[in-house]
A and B are shown apart, each in its own frame.
Chain A
Amino acid sequence: MSINRLTHLKELESESIYILREVAAQFEKPVLLFSGGKDSIVMAYLTYKAFYPAPIPFPFVHIDTGHNFEETLTYRDDLVKLLGAKLIVGLVEESIAQGRVVEEKGFSASRNKLQTVTLLDTLEKYKFDAALGGARRDEEKARAKERFFSHRDEFGQWDPKNQRPELWNIFNGKKQLGEHFRIFPISNWTEMDVWQYILQENIPLPSLYYTHEREVFERDGIIYAALPEMPRRETEPVEIKRVRCRTIGDITCTGLTLSSANSLEDIIDEIASSRVTERGGRSDDKRSEAAMEDRKKAGYF
């Protein structure tokens, strides 16, 4: 490698920090959407770095479906303290209680779709004009086409056919009253980049990402945690297995991977030799071929 060439990780980091600083400069009330997953953890650390030694200039918002792994919530609260960030929690339970959404019924019920309403309500309540998310373009085909600065109308909707052209590194965050932006600073990172960065920066992760023994059951080829939040059919017996999370969503949509990886190096080797994508274990994407496209148009991340 030639001297004075950034590695791919340094170049990606630099691009993301550049975008985070643009957001702080261009918007009045930005917010960082924190899910508790590894991508939003990386986002949190990048944000800390972008403004250091000044405090992070915007709050974190967590949309809590009420079906989260306990480890996710503990980790979240510790991280916020460590980085000195302010946390706002939006509760899907509250949206249900207020009659804003109706809970899905049956065994495959998930609050994944409901959380869009809670998210939009929370953005509205605090008048946030830019919401930062840790979505990556390699995750899903609809995301592959989304800009860094994704313009949303007053209903929070994404119009894939009418996106603003995004040239060089010039970002246009101008908007009409009531409109807002979703911003994805780590768009160009792949799953592997995220893991390598976590290793390089020595970022602590929730224990769910490492191998552990757990009560699980299988449904449609996906292994789920056997927890009260996830009702089982009689034909779905509970077994004990060594598993870990490759992605973390809420309990009802997080598939677990059989794995004995208990270090970041193990995880990276496992991903390097894996033959399925990380979203292959996400039941929210399996609902239809255009599931993500439809959810995004409705205001989802």
Chain B
Amino acid sequence: MSESKTHGYLDMELLRFSTAGSVDDGKSTLIGRLLYDSKSIFEDQLQAVKDASKRLGGGEEVNLALLTDGLRAEREQGITIDVAYRYFATPKRKFIIADTPGHIEYTRNMVTGASTADVAIILIDARNGIIEQSKRHSYIASLLQIPNVVVAVNKMDLVDFSEEVFNKIIEEYKEISKILKLKNVIFIPISALDGDNVVDASSRTTWYNGPTLLQMLETLPVRKDENNLPARLPVQFVVRPYSNDFHDYRGYAGRVSGGTFRVGDEITVLPSKTQSKIIAIDEGAKSLNEAYTPQSVTIRLADNVDVSRGDLLVKTNEPQPIVSANVSLLVCWLNHRPLNEGGKYIIRHATEETRAIIKAVHYKVNINTLENIIDDKNVKMNDIAHISIKTLKPLKYDSYSDNRVTGSLILIDENTFETVGAGMIVHDLEDEAFAI
């Protein structure tokens, strides 16, 4: 190696994206192609895939889909049973892929995988166009407020790289993105199998002048607005050393979840509404002047106020979150035992834990037709519903569309302790982006 690569690697940006597609849309092949063409596959991994391809009767042809098939149970059944995470880097960015299966019964995995994504890639088979599952994937991208959606029209090789087919899909999809109010939708014609427009530009789509999928992923802006949000810091842990050197040290450890905190900022502690001022921001043994999203820091305040885990630090002069025990949310149900209207659940919201009762199920969403269902309020696994809950302790929350951390919560079964629901808080559903 002539020149050290070390320096360039230390200050890359991180982009998280999820992939969703139906069973035969070629999703595994696409990820395999992305890893292979960006030279993120090592020889021993490739050899294992070659061996497996041969054993499964694929001859000498390397089946790139096998690069991402994880567990024995999956290989035997030829399916993907859970979210798998993949990693690769180019000189520009480091990428985390949440690879989520597209079967009808796995909406919960898709929600899980997409919950932290900056970009959702939705695969569409060029031969089939937009199908019900495409709508479901798009709905989930909208529900989770993923800032960017890339519609990858795959298997273009099987429709002779027809511009007409591609444009027809764009036209049809625009209907969906209008209904769902998707913000930034990008269309790319690809062939995952042959590699067209995945990493390298295709010579077979001369009519397409846009970027390849990887070029797009390398240049999309990443969560650029986070630092402009009202500042929020859910307190995780109170740091009290009780040592001679740090006798009076009392710090509030947490991750900045929106906005920026600076030394000297006037702070309100919620729910107590106690006020104080930041005198120090610590990161390990280092002291900082400011902390921004999503930094993990420890904040010290001027006054000896009562702050504990679950409290929320906000800036006094900025828009305040709502502090209320009544919460309205869209919930994605994740458990085989249906939601119990009138039942009690444990709630985990930011660093707070409390209990809640389900007061009402307002309606369910048919995410295949994008219509509301009001006559069936039985919320089963993979259903999305609008519900109201009342919590034991008041929550300090924003709407999910304003803040992904203070606007989200999970429901936990009181007996099994399983995570049974994923909730996105809505202020007033009429105004929400995902109200249909």
Contact = CB atoms under 8 A, between A and B. Distances in A.
Given A4-B260, A199-B6, A265-B6, A21 B1 contact: no
B162 interface: no
Contacts of B224: 2
A187 B84 CA distance: 12
Contacts of B236: 18, 21-22, 25
A193 B246 CA distance: 33
B294 A14 contact: yes
B396 to A, nearest CB: 15
Nearest to A54: B241
B296 A7 contact: no
Given A4-B227, A7-B11, A24-B237, A293 B71 contact: yes
Interface stretch (A110-118, A208-216, A244-252, A275-283): A275-283
Interface residues of B, number: 81
Interface string B271-307: 0000000000011110000001011101000000000
B94 interface: yes
B85 A172 contact: no
Given A7-B11, A14-B255, A21-B253, A164 B42 contact: no
Contacts, number: 200
Nearest to B410: A170
A102 interface: no
Contacts of A9: 10-11
Contact of B10 (A52, A172, A200, A293): A200
Given A9-B11, A142-B70, A275-B43, 11 more contacts: A7-B13, A14-B294, A25-B351, A52-B285, A170-B408, A188-B96, A199-B6, A269-B4, A273-B1, A275-B42, A276-B44
Nearest to A161: B81
B13, B52, B419, most chain A CB atoms within 10 A = B419
A142 B227 contact: no
A7 B12 contact: yes
Contacts of A163: 82
Contacts of A13: 296
A48 to B, nearest CB: 8
Nearest to B15: A8
A215 to B, nearest CB: 26
23 contacts: A1-B13, A17-B255, A17-B296, A21-B296, A53-B241, A53-B243, A55-B241, A137-B87, A142-B70, A144-B85, A145-B84, A165-B109, A165-B111, A166-B112, A168-B405, A170-B409, A188-B96, A193-B94, A196-B6, A268-B4, A272-B5, A280-B43, A289-B52
A160 interface: yes
Nearest to A273: B1
Contact of A167 (B5, B84, B111): B111
Interface string B295-323: 11010000000000100000000000000
Of B249, B346, B348, which is in contact with the most chain A CB atoms at under 10 Å from its CB? Answer: B348
